[in-house]
Chains A and B, each alone.
Chain A
Amino acid sequence: MGLKEVLKPLGAWRQIAKRPHTILVPKVSREAAERYRGFHVNDLEKCIGCGTCAAVCPNEAIDMVPVEGIEPKKGDSGFRPRIDYGRCCWCGLCVDSCPTTSLRMTNEYIWVRETPDDFVYIPGYHIKGFEKKEKGYRKDKEHSFTDYHRVPMRELPPEERVETFAEVVLGYAEEEARREADRCVGCGLCIAGCPDRMHIPDYIRAIASGEYARSVNIMYENNPFAELCGKVCTRRCESYCSLGHEGDPVAIRWLKRFATERFSDLKQVIKVKKAEPKDKSVGIIGAGPGGLTAAYYLALRGYKVTVYEAMPEAGGMTMAGIPKYRFPFPSLKKQVDFILSQGVELKLNYFVDQERFRELMKKHHAIYIGVGLMKPWTLGVPGEDHPNVIYAIDFLRKINFKEPVEVGKEVVVIGGGDVAMDAARVSRRLGAEVTIAYRRRKVDMPADHEEIEGAEEEGVRIWEKIIPIRVEDAPEGKVKLVYGKAKMVDQGPGKRPKPVLIEGEEYELVVDRIIVAIGQQADLSFLPPEIAEKMEVERGRIKVNHRQMTSVEGIFAGGDVANRVADAISAIADGLRAVKGIELYFQGKMD
């Protein structure tokens, strides 16, 4: 150590001639990096108020609050996140877990206000001036906490399917189901989409954690046909799934199917609480899903229930209308047997006509009508009464009850709904070449898109914009469909375009069978005239109040005969609602 060590540090003075490393704030502003986690912005249109951001926030800085001008609707809770910047730690977990990617961060980090309240606000609603900033932390969909990819469902290959009536969908394996169930963020927006309001997030979470029995018990709280729904539900819930906005919605239907299929004996799994027996009795006409649901919950509440069914098996349309490759008979039997085991009496082959209806009125304290729609709509074209023109609903019933049906080699199915798809795919399995003729475009078809895809995979042709004109006889026991083509005429915003026949063009198609699947209507001829005149009917459906009671006291109705949605889950929902209605009616508290 010497003089050198004393003088050396003075070298620091060299820096005086160099450019400073600092910048002159506020004259010079420094833009933060591309990924900087600064103030949030939220796209209110895209946001669905699922609350995942609030759930993952480590500091409880995010509250979900109602926002003026945003009404709750299906798939949108109407709430929006409000962020308290006194608590926010800028970690960006909310951004990474936002299912719709509406929430993001800007690279803005300076914002000065005098009042602390200004730092608690709803991004996107309270405009703060940095909404337009493009830079900032954003969610990378493939590298985030949200798994947007559904676990694919295994199916029979199409070549094998057309050979057999075996179930097409093979179901999830346990590991697959748990992985799929684990994707659910638990927001509960799907519940609004379900007519029966099943507790979807709860039973999905139970599946994810491997508690299958608990899961099935949750389902049976408001749906005794969980397995049916697991197979053939129209699953409107999935269209409101928060993950569906940017990826695949959670496979709610397949998960329900997985959980229910694990148990072959429902009696051992489902814990029912039965009420004390009561002295009132209820007659239920029609053993469809709606009628049996009402029967099950009425029986649990202690009422005496008798179900009258015209067909030789219970199940209604799910028995007669849905082909067995979608809904095998043993599965239906298992569920119906469990319902019957709760003390429900079932009378099969018991067709209720006017006389019998009067008897039932005397015998029971309340009646529930769940007869469904059994009369097909006709095409309304000349020559329709040709013997080779058959109706899909009759066709499917005969197949399901194993009655002999002949379809020949070439079939044309008219219609675009699920029944049309079923008729087409069944015909395919009977060995026919099948064409579906629909008067609108394929995108307009009301059928489930998976059904349409399935039909096409199996070799069903789909012709769009076809309008039948008349049916003529053809040689060799065939039938000739004369049809025209349609053009789509725009009906203004928000309305479906209407198919209009292009005049002057006629085409012909010679086939073995024409299957008509353009819908069904109710057949209310069993109602005695004194009841029928009191009962209000609106556009072919029985009119009911919010408790499913018709305009005749003590007579309730539900399912396809009363609602316009006409699917199994809304029939189940109707049945459940009617139970509450019947109970209130018995107690004289009907509101």
Chain B
Amino acid sequence: MEILDKLKEKFEILQSQEKREDLALVGTTEKDLIPLLVYLKEYEGYKTLVMISCVDWIEEGKFELVYNLWNPSKKHNILVKTKIPREAPKFQTIYKIWPQAEAYEREIHEMFGVDFEGNPTQHEELILEDWDDIPPMRRDFDTLKYSMEKFGEREPKSGIIIRKQISEQYDEWRRK
């Protein structure tokens, strides 16, 4: 793919893949990410930022930031990714390049706890009011445990047998 070759010449590309005719994937370093985004926007026609997402790779101790760009004339999407440390995660904001990034970064700040330096509104609550736990989209946040602690256990029902217990209970019967 032409665009991937161009990027490889100019930036440090850790991973690249052509997923579909209209979707490519590029992994780069933390340092090269924003120059790469700007390059794509200014010179390659990837004018639109579709979304910013974050993936928690808890085993590696990393967060992966995913920037999805769209080229309206070539009808092509490109996913630009970089991994940042999971401990005290921080990154630069790109809201001056794309205004909607402000809201996306605010969401990621709230859900994953990534600090986007320079984003003026990221500390404002987007969805969660008075949140009192770790950012909820992190993999180590246990929704069930939180809900049990916060709202109490669901009324215990008598005689509940969930499936994995069936064979055990059944086995008990067999032993008789």
Contact = CB atoms under 8 A, between A and B. Distances in A.
Interface string B146-176: 0000000000010111110011011101100
B163 A72 contact: no
B170 A55 contact: no
Interface in A37-56: 49-51, 54-55
B75 to A, nearest CB: 35
Contacts of B161: 63-66, 79
Interface stretch (A174-182, A187-195, A511-519, A583-591): A187-195
Contact of B163 (A55, A66, A192): A55
Contacts of B160: 63, 65
A65 B167 contact: no
Contacts of A63: 157, 159-162
Q: Which of B160, B166, B174 has the most CB of A within 10 A?
A: B166
Nearest to B172: A72
Contacts of A55: 163
Contact of B167 (A78, A120, A188): A188
A197 interface: yes
A119 to B, nearest CB: 13
A217 interface: no
Contact of A77 (B159, B162, B166): B166
A201 interface: yes
A24 B160 CA distance: 42
Contacts of B159: 63, 65-66
A192 B174 contact: yes
Query: Majority SS of interface residues in chain B?
Result: helix
Nearest to B176: A72
Nearest to A192: B174
Nearest to A74: B174
A77 B163 contact: no
Interface residues of B, number: 13
A68 B157 CA distance: 17
Nearest to B160: A63
A66 B166 CA distance: 10
Given A63-B157, A188-B167, A201-B167, A54 B173 contact: no
Interface in A56-87: 63-66, 72, 77-79
Interface in B81-140: none
Q: Which of B157, B163, B166, B173 has the most CB of A within 10 A?
A: B163
Given A65-B160, A66-B159, A79 B166 contact: yes
Given A63-B160, A65-B159, A65-B161, A197 B171 contact: yes
Nearest to B171: A191
Contact of B170 (A54, A65, A189): A189
A120 B159 CA distance: 13
A64 B166 contact: yes
Interface string A151-191: 00000000000000000000000000000000000011101
A191 B169 CA distance: 12
A197 B174 contact: yes
B102 to A, nearest CB: 35
Nearest to B170: A77
Contact of A54 (B157, B163, B167): B163
Contacts of A78: 170, 173
Contacts of B174: 191-192, 197
Contacts of A51: 163, 166
A64 B163 contact: yes
B172 to A, nearest CB: 9
A15 to B, nearest CB: 43
Contacts of A79: 161, 166, 169
A79 B167 CA distance: 11
Given A51-B166, A77-B170, A189-B170, 8 more contacts: A63-B161, A64-B163, A65-B160, A72-B173, A188-B170, A191-B167, A191-B174, A197-B174
Interface of A: 49-51, 54-55, 63-66, 72, 77-79, 120, 187-189, 191-192, 197, 201
13 contacts: A63-B159, A63-B161, A63-B162, A64-B166, A65-B160, A65-B161, A72-B173, A77-B169, A79-B161, A188-B167, A189-B170, A191-B167, A191-B171
